[in-house]
Amino acid sequence: MSAETKTELPQVTGSCCSSTGSCQDSAAEARQDGVTTVYQVKGMTCGHCEGAVTSEISEIAGVSSVKAVAATGQVTVVSQAPLDDAAVRAAVDEAGYELVGQA
Ligand SMILES: [Cu+2]
């Protein structure tokens, strides 16, 4: 038995004091606050499938980015807040595929 506690805190990778050493908040383009969740979807076989899943999931409120890859069956979703699995499942179902779960 191990009493060790593994800390896996998400590291903030953005540094305002990088190459130039100046702390200016002009690097707004790299700012993408949100939650990234990867889902496993069954049944996608081609780019058309990716498009169908992408467009359905994109319609969920709060979703800012969707990237579906048929080859792996993985769909990466960026949203402002954690999504309801049921909503994602419904969207995938609507597209004609099956949500296996979070990858
Ligand atoms: Cu297809």
Ligand 1 center–CA 48 separation, angstroms: 4
Our CA angle for 73, 57, 42, nearest 5°, is 25
Domain that holds residue 54: 33-98
Classify residue 60: in a domain, yes or no. yes
Ligand 1 center–CA 94 separation, angstroms: 14
Find out whether 76 and 32 touch, Cβ atoms under 8 Å.
no
CATH number assigned to the domain comprising residue 85:
3.30.70.100
Ligand 1 center–CA 65 separation, angstroms: 20
Classify residue 62: in a domain, yes or no. yes
Q: How far apart are CA 78 and CA 31, in angstroms?
A: 13
**Total domains in the fold of the chain:** 1
pLDDT at 6 over 80: no
Classify residue 65: in a domain, yes or no. yes
Per-residue pLDDT, averaged over 39-48, amounts to 98
Classify residue 70: in a domain, yes or no. yes
Ligand 1 center–CA 53 separation, angstroms: 10
For the chain, what is the mean pLDDT? 84
Please state whether the predicted TM-score (pTM) of the whole model is above 0.75. no
Classify residue 81: in a domain, yes or no. yes
pLDDT tens digits, one per residue of 57-88: 999 999 999 999 999 999 999 999 999 999 99
User: For residue 18, what is the DSSP state?
Assistant: S
Ligand 1 center–CA 47 separation, angstroms: 6
